[in-house]
Amino acid sequence: MKIIVDAFGGDNAPLEIIKGCAMAVEKFDDVEIILTGDEEKIKEVAENEQISLERIEIVHAPDVIEMSDHPTELMKSKKNSSMAVGLRLLADGGGDAMISAGSTGAMLTGATLIVKRIKGVKRPALAPVMPNADGKFMLIDCGANADCRPEMLVQFAHMGSVYMKNVLGVENPRVGLANIGTEETKGDELRKETYALLKDEPNLNFIGNFETREIADGGVDVLVADGFTGNIILKTYEGVASMLSGKFKSVFKKNIFNKLGAAVMLKDLNDIKKSMDHNEYGGAPFLGVKKPVFKAHGSSKAITVCNAVKLVREFVSSDVIGKIAEDISGSAETEGEKKED
Amino acid sequence: MKIIVDAFGGDNAPLEIIKGCAMAVEKFDDVEIILTGDEEKIKEVAENEQISLERIEIVHAPDVIEMSDHPTELMKSKKNSSMAVGLRLLADGGGDAMISAGSTGAMLTGATLIVKRIKGVKRPALAPVMPNADGKFMLIDCGANADCRPEMLVQFAHMGSVYMKNVLGVENPRVGLANIGTEETKGDELRKETYALLKDEPNLNFIGNFETREIADGGVDVLVADGFTGNIILKTYEGVASMLSGKFKSVFKKNIFNKLGAAVMLKDLNDIKKSMDHNEYGGAPFLGVKKPVFKAHGSSKAITVCNAVKLVREFVSSDVIGKIAEDISGSAETEGEKKED
């Protein structure tokens, strides 16, 4: 299996990316990596840091798309960027999947325009897997589509279920609709219409509306939202978690007494940290495009990249794409899709 | 000043409500309380608990609207509930303001249908004041209106500014639009249209889009959202904060060593708890109705009720209602309002 990795995406590129790829090939015998990016720089970093490039091929790409670039530049001034080159390679069959920790907007643009949508899929979605009391859940969509119609949310539910089942091994994933109350009549028009569709949808374990107050407690495997709401949930979640963790941290470090007090429970405190760690699940797949495209967290370290490779390996070998295509074409909601596109 | 308090609203009614009212009259010389609810029960509780009812008048209301009742029951089967009686008394001029810790939905229904909107206000909004690094900020709307138009959000911005300035003493309150990116072009259609209106709006310190990742860090005094989004933000905020606090708490109590470790920093840990405490700011005003109506948190204790009285006292004496009416009638956005109603 050939996994393409953007060597110049993310805050810690290229060093941590290259390191992570080397870790991954060592861990997974069946994986080969294609790194895209400035060949000379990649080789230089590998040599300086004594990272083996065995089973890692380099495809040269002189440019980098920056966070400050408009996403559509990927198709224009930045078409020779490591991300664009990787996505074209993927679309042309030069690899089985693509991972980048670079600009989410550019990734989505490229995934949609270069890799292209699965037939019948109205909109691809960005679907991060996040920590909760059960371990993890998927939030879909999380920012790819700010304005959504109910049929799109129904497709998100299907795509998320297929991924959670096949990649993360969740039996019969529980699908919840992110809403401001549990009763069927709650929420805005979009939620009410989506609820009406979801409750009659076959091949879906729809458990009803899900209040975001419960989000950290578990009880849901796939949380469905329009991209605006999903992104609001994600960012509020991250913001509050980081603020509170910061408050505790500063208490623990305040003075020598507190430091000693905290030292006693260091292992337990680290368990909390680990349970909240986004590096654990590696990032977010883009679901709905023809090949596996995976967005690793912007602050990815080597271990994050290695975890991303692990997930993408499952993504490829369990044929999530084929199963999504099957699920979507079997859903009544795709009728009339041609007209809308 | 006469403040009407629903004696039978909230999880800890009537005891904590009555206690809180007694605290308030002791603290504020210019305040008299009118408690609505079952007269016999109120007197019994006061006697048993030795709470003085000096400067506390009781207006009898035999019924209680429960959380499980549909909000509109306030106007039908529960029109003799403590909440409905209180709101009618307020509308008829029998008091200057009304506080309840009861059902939010019923409060909003009653505030809108009994107390009625300020002329020109399209929709009243529920606007809780929440903790952040600056101390506090207002989130408006937070669930009163699931589906909103841009003009409504502009009015929320005005109403929130007037409240924060006059009741909580924030000079020139910074108004942010809750969004998924900071650039003007970010968000869904509702956000883009609202941004376009807000940036040209006079008498408003609009600071642009505000990402909810920063929500706990401060930087905004009035965060504007449609009721669906606002409620999602509020519940995600509360859910994550409570989950994380719970995790730390269970580490602190895990064994004797951890307990000793935590004991060392007890004061600092309590400071965190206090900074996250919703009892501090007492709850949420309903803005846009003709008289001050204030929703105290459902789990209000006596101190919460006392704080609510303090806020409502400012609400009344600084004539927030008059100032909102002035601000709204001065805004171009009210044109054509009659037709829409």
Shortest Cα distance from A130 to chain B (angstroms)?
12
- Chain B nearest-CA distance from A112, in A, is 19
Q: Two tokens at B330?
A: 């001065």
Same domain, A55 and A131: no
In a domain, A325, yes or no: no
Whether residue A341 has pLDDT greater than 70: no
B139: left (phi over 0), alpha (psi -120 to 50) or beta: beta
Is B181 in the same domain as B273?
Answer: yes
pLDDT tens for A281-308 read 668 999 999 999 999 988 889 999 999 9
Chain B residue whose CA is closest to A238: B213
pLDDT for residue A334 is more than 60: no
**HSE, side-chain direction, 13 A CA sphere, residue B308:** 39
Range of lowest pLDDT (A139-148, A178-187, A211-220, B239-248): B239-248
Shortest Cα distance, chain B CAs vs residue A211, angstroms: 7
- CA distances, B330 to each of B125, B262, B326 (Å): 19, 55, 6
Q: Helix (H, G, I), strand (E, B), or coil: what is residue B13?
A: coil
pLDDT at A339 over 50: no
**What per-residue confidence (pLDDT) applies to B99?**
97
Same-domain pairing of B48 and B156 = no
How crowded is the C-beta side of B70, counted as CA atoms within 13 Å?
A: 8
B258: contact with A, CB 8 A cutoff: yes
Note the pLDDT of residue A172.
96
Q: Which chain B residues are Cβ-neighbours of A191 within 8 angstroms?
A: 146, 228
Q: In the prediction, which pLDDT does A275 show?
A: 64
Residues A249 and A133 in one domain: yes
pLDDT at site A78:
96
pTM of the entire predicted model? 0.88
Co-location of A301 and A267 in the same domain: no
Of the residues B231, B260, B280, the one at which a domain ends = B280
Q: How far is B179 from chain A (nearest CA, A)?
A: 7
Is the per-residue pLDDT at B280 higher than 60?
A: no
Amino acid A274: pLDDT: 66
CB contact under 8 A, B257 and A245: no
Q: Are residues A108 and A187 in the same domain?
A: no
Average pLDDT (B202-214) is 94
Report pLDDT digits (tens) over B138-160: 999 998 999 999 999 999 999 99
Average pLDDT in the B105-113 region?
A: 94
Number of folded domains that form chain A: 2
Between chains, do A213 and B188 touch, taking CB under 8 Å as contact?
A: no
Domain extent for B297 = 1-121+288-341
Higher pLDDT pick, A35 / B260: A35
The answer to whether the CB of A256 falls within 8 A of the CB of A165 is no
Residue A310 pLDDT: 94
pLDDT at site B278:
55
- Mean pLDDT to the nearest integer, B94-123: 95
Q: What is the pLDDT of residue A32?
A: 98
Residues A20 and A102 reside in one and the same domain:
yes
Whether A261 sits inside 8 A of B261 (CB atoms) is yes
**Domain termination residue (choose one: B228, B258, B280):** B280
DSSP string, A60-106: E--B---TTS-GGGGGTTTTTBHHHHHHHHHHTTS-SEEEE-S-HHH
In a domain, A326, yes or no: no
Is residue A174 included in any domain, yes or no?
yes
Q: What pLDDT does A270 receive? A: 73
Spatial distance between the Cα atoms of A273 and A260, rounded to a whole number of angstroms: 19
Chain A residues in contact with B213 (beta carbon < 8 A): 235-236, 238-239
More confident residue, B270 or A278: B270
Which of these ranges, A146-160, B82-96, B238-252, has the smallest mean pLDDT? B238-252
Question: Range with the lowest mean pLDDT among A87-101, A190-204, A216-230, A250-264?
Answer: A250-264
Instruction: Check which CATH number belongs to the domain holding B50 and give it.
Output: 3.40.718.10
* In a shared domain, residues A13 and A154: no
Kindly identify which residue of chain B lies nearest to residue A215, measuring between CA atoms.
Answer: B239
Would you say residue A184 has pLDDT above 80?
yes
Whether residues B141 and B201 share a domain: the answer is: yes
Q: What band does A187 get if pLDDT is binned at 50, 70 and 90?
A: very high
Assess whether A161 and A256 both reside in one domain. Answer: yes
The residue that leads in pLDDT, A103 or A132, is A103
Decide if A259 is inside a domain.
yes
Do B54 and B199 have their domain in common? no
Domain identity same for B339 and B242: no
Kindly give, in sequence order, each residue whose CB lies less than 8 Å from that of residue A145, ignoring residues fewer than 6 positions away.
A123, A125, A152, A226, A227
Percent of chain A with pLDDT over 70: 94
* A73-110 tens-digit pLDDT: 999 999 999 999 999 999 999 999 999 999 989 999 99
Q: Which of residues 143-182 of A touch B (CB under 8 A)?
A: 143, 146-147, 178, 180
Q: Given a cut of 60, is residue B257 above it in pLDDT?
A: yes
Higher pLDDT, B244 or A208: A208
Strand order in the sheet with B32-37: B56-60, B32-37, B2-6, B97-100, B293-296, B283-287, B125-126
The mean pLDDT of B51-65, rounded to a whole number, is 97
pLDDT per position as a tens digit, B29-50: 999 999 999 999 999 999 999 9
Give the mean pLDDT of A188-215: 95
- Give the separation between CA A117 and CA A152, rounded to whole angstroms: 13
Task: Give CA angle at A332 (A163, A194), nearest 5°.
Answer: 70
* Dihedrals phi, psi of A251, to nearest 5 degrees: -65, -45
In this complex, do A229 and B228 lie within 8 Å of one another by their Cβ atoms? yes
- Residue among B147, B251, B275 minimizing CB distance to A272: B251
Structure tokens at B167: 């009741």
Average pLDDT, integer, range A46-53: 96
- The answer to whether A321 touches A118, Cβ cutoff 8 Å, is yes
Reply yes or no on whether the pLDDT at A217 is more than 90: no
Cα of B11 to nearest chain A Cα, Å: 18
